[in-house]
Amino acid sequence: MNLHEFQAKQLLAQYGVAVPAGEVCSTPEQARDIAQKLFSHGEKMVVVKSQIHAGGRGKGTFKSGFQGGVKLCKTAEDVFEKAKAMIGQVLVTKQTGADGRLVSRLLVAAAPVIKKEIYLAVLLDRDSSRPLIMASTEGGVDIEEVAAHTPEKILKEIIDPVVGIMPYQARKLANALGFKGDLIGHATKMILGVYKTWWETDASMLEINPLCIIEGPDGKESLLAVDAKMSLDDNALYRHKNLQEMRDLGEEAPLEIEASKFSLNYIKLDGNIACLVNGAGLAMATMDIIQHFGGNPANFLDVGGGASKEQVTAAFKIILSDPNVKGILVNIFGGIMQCDIIATGIVAAVKETNLTLPLVVRLEGNNVALGKKILQESGLAVISADSMADGAKKVVQAVNH
Amino acid sequence: MAILVNPSTKVLIQGITGSFGARHTQLSLAYGSQVVAGVTPGKGGQLFENKVPIFDTVSEAAKSSGATVSAIFVPPPFAADAILEAVDAELDLVICITEGIPVIDMVRVKRALQGRKTRLIGPNCPGLVTPGEGKDSHGGCRIGIAPGYIHKKGNIGVVSRSGTLTYEAVWQLTCRGVGQSTCVGIGGDPVNGTSHLDIIKLFNDDPETHGIIMIGEIGGSAEEEAAEWIQKNCKKPIAGFIAGTSAPPGRRMGHAGAIVSGGKGTAAAKIDAFRAAGIGIAETPSVMAETLLKMM
């Protein structure tokens, strides 16, 4: 589950990580009030940030034509105007796809003068099966670019999960990042706090980019987490009631939400050949083989090991809600499941949804002969396939006709 | 010989009275596997299906029954605890079928396994099968949730992160009259107990395994790690398939570990690594067996 920037910052602040003063709001009036408060506390500049689950907001464009999902403002009136142009509008960034995302909330926050930008992240290191802290002096830019071109600028510290993070590990990073004097202490505290946030919330990824050195009115330097990106381990949400409430259904594809109600694992893609498969690996491989034979998969869909009649019917309805779909490939390896039961489910689903699109079915496994017979005798125009390759070829051909 | 388990291996089931655990215990018994004990805290002293004794703790079950292997079917919040209980009982092998265990739980389990004798397979895996000599491979050792009858006793090792793709490969072999030594599902989670490489090494040392099918998928770099070792050390022909060529980056494709993130873990990189190691590439999942048989 992904979190919004403002939610990540709320969590970070709870673990003692310094974040810019600010609040989230959903109307231009509220945005103006928050800005007024910040200006009255002596802030010179305030930033208005669209809250969506996608990066590239600053360089994004609203469908209304308004440029930029992140705006710096010098007056509360300006904040009001910018907020008015953003709230309720759809923002398109390089990560949202052409559909963009509706901006319903803004983060209005202090925007201090930044002296230097750092990158800091915590994630799972799959090679060592341990938590990994990644840091770089090259903050504020795409870290994948840094990793690709100047990998020596990425610092890594692996944490022993039994011991937990030790302060020396944070100091080592602070030192390697070039911090001096008081800032070593600030950075150490910040790294410890960010790690603790990651660990205690069961996060998958927590990225502070940029982490900024700023200069206060007294000329003293300090550190602030200016932007934050965070995702949580779905498998651990059961033990975090407070985090479950942070789920924003508005950010999820409606069909994916519908699918999750039936314990179906569905991911919408851009193609026109839908697939319905049991098992995640086989579902991925089915998409691959459709592509291999010149087709374009419309979705990933794993109906799981059980695949009841209700689930299969729900799966068909979800697939058919995608207007791009021009054909369907059902690929079931009925290892434990009986193919005749699955075939009965398919027949019922086809009838209930009044399916008119070409449907190719590949059944294999338990009671496969009976399963195929049920499909044949149903009177439905089901195209039967003998193997995955046969099924993929047939559905691609049917769609291209 | 096969690897890890053979038809006389004694197995206990943690979570034997849950509906999922019970169903698959019945199937394993019907397949002829030696399921000798079950564990459900609070139900010690009862019998499963009137024949398999149930115990309150794993150590008690292992001591009384002589089981050396455990299969875990307990729900995700209790799975890490169940794994470590089996490790504490000093079993040789623990196979965790449970899907949906928090990653941090597995990070801690993996650390706690260091220096212990127990090998963990999974979690989020179909388990393993060493086929038997009877009809439809009856009499073999089936631990987990794989369909037993699709197997046939023989000399091909199969290792995969995915359950259904394992079945697909096994079935392709069996339909061509080619049997398997052992088929192992290592699971689809980002942190697991046994890697592709661990299994490949066992197959390489097993005189009864003459060829290997290795099935990988996007995410992580376990396939690349295995390929590097294979290039230098493996004496046996291997055919490989990588699932997820068509998967969009940044999305989890069903398995918690199946995700391309930060440009890492792509199917293309894994296929390149396979090719460089001399592994035969199955261009589609339909030709996994065919690809291997052509090499042998």
Given pLDDT bands bounded at 50, 70 and 90, which one contains residue B185? very high
Work out the pLDDT band at B269, boundaries 50, 70, 90.
very high
Q: Is B196 a catalytic residue?
A: no
When CB atoms are compared, the residue of B106, B254, B284 closest to A302 is B254
- Successive 10-residue mean pLDDT values, chain A, 401 residues: 97 97 97 97 95 93 96 97 97 90 96 94 95 93 82 94 96 96 95 98 96 87 95 96 94 90 91 93 96 96 79 90 94 82 88 91 88 90 92 95 80
Q: Is B243 on the interface with A (CB under 8 A)?
A: yes
Q: Indicate which residue of B138, B151, B196, B255 is catalytic.
A: B255
- Residue A339 · residue A308 · CB < 8 Å: no
CB contact under 8 A, A281 and B162: yes
pLDDT digits (tens, 9 = 90+) for B123-136: 999 999 999 999 99
Q: What is the 3-state secondary structure (H, E, C) of A269-304?
A: CCCCEEEEECCHHHHHHHHHHHHHCCCCECEEEECC
* Unique residue bearing structure tokens 């994916």: A256
Q: Is B274 on the interface with A (CB under 8 A)?
A: no
What is the Cα B271 distance to its own chain's centre?
22
**What pLDDT score was predicted for residue A89?**
97
Using DSSP bridges, classify how beta strands A90-92 and A101-102 pair: parallel, antiparallel or unpaired.
Answer: antiparallel
Q: What is the pLDDT of residues B206-248, one digit of tens each?
A: 999 999 999 999 999 999 999 999 999 999 999 999 999 999 8
Which residues of B are less than 8 Å from A392 in CB distance?
284
Q: Which residue of A94, A126, A200, A387 is the best one to mutate when testing the B interface, meaning the one whose CB has the most B CBs within 10 A?
A: A126
**Cα-flanking dihedrals φ and ψ of residue A188, to 5°?**
-60, -45
Interchain proximity A204–B101, CB inside 8 Å: no
Average pLDDT of every residue of chain B: 95
Report pTM: 0.93
First and final CA of chain A: distance in angstroms?
40
pLDDT, residue B37, reads 98
Predicted local distance difference test score (pLDDT) of residue B262:
73
Contact assignment for B104 to A238 by CB distance below 8 Å = no
What pLDDT shows up at residue B223? 94
Q: Does B107 touch chain A (CB under 8 A)?
A: yes
Q: Roughly what angle, to the nearest 10 degrees, separates helices B267-276 and B222-233?
A: 10
pLDDT on residue A18: 96
